[in-house]
Amino acid sequence: MNPKIALLMGSKSDLPKLESCLQTLQALELKYEVRVLSAHRTPEVVAEFARNAESRGLEVIIAAAGGAAHLAGVVAAHTLLPVIGIPVEGGAFKGMDALLSTVQMPGGIAVATVGVGSGGATNAALLAAQILARTDPALRVRLEADRASRRDKVLSDDRELQL
């Protein structure tokens, strides 16, 4: 079965910062592919990847980049698939530059942007799963279980503090 989600990163050095995304996709039993593609160093490859993604069976693309963080926007410019941008934390501005670059897309090219840091990477995986769950009842059940587990953890932590 082909993956329905692609996780693209601008640099291999971003991989450790995306572990929570990968762990969440795995926990939800979702198949995915991971690629290192740069909006600036391999723009032709990024455009070709995005143009061919849907015909290869992909349904959602997650694009993570730091600094100028143009990867998600370049991908979105070449496909009608949903694109989720993860601004990668790092550099002199601690990811603020990546956040602003990712979230400030011009009208007409949509990119859903999650937060900087591991919470954002986790949320990118969850958002991709929610998009797919619209037509996958079994995935919806797994998402509901994940949400219940997160709720139960908070309530358990609260009970511990009350003792």
Q: Given this structure, which CATH class describes domain 5-136?
A: alpha beta
Contact 14, 61 (CB under 8 A): no
Mean pLDDT estimate for the chain? 96
* Structure tokens that stand for 15 in this block: 């991989």
Closest by CA to 74, choosing from 95, 96, 53, is 53
Predicted local distance difference test score (pLDDT) of residue 38: 97
Residues above pLDDT 90, as percent of the chain? 97
Residue 91: pLDDT band with limits 50, 70, 90: confident
Across the range 157-162, mean pLDDT stands at: 96
List the domain boundaries for the chain: 5-136
Identify the pLDDT of residue 163: 78
Give SS3 for 95: coil
Q: What is the DSSP string of 63-119?
A: EEE-TT--HHHHHHHT-SS-EEEEEPP-TTTTTHHHHHHHH-PPTTS--EE--SSHH
In which band, very low, low, confident or very high, does the pLDDT at 1 lie, cut at 50, 70 and 90?
A: confident
The residue written with tokens 């730091």 in the block is: 66
Count the Cβ atoms, other than its own, within 10 Å of residue 147: 11
d(CA 9, CA 14): 7
Query: Are 146 and 97 a contacting pair, CB within 8 Å?
Result: no
pLDDT digits (tens, 9 = 90+) for 11-67: 999 999 999 999 999 999 999 999 999 999 999 999 999 999 999 999 999 999 999
71 pLDDT band, cuts 50/70/90, is: very high
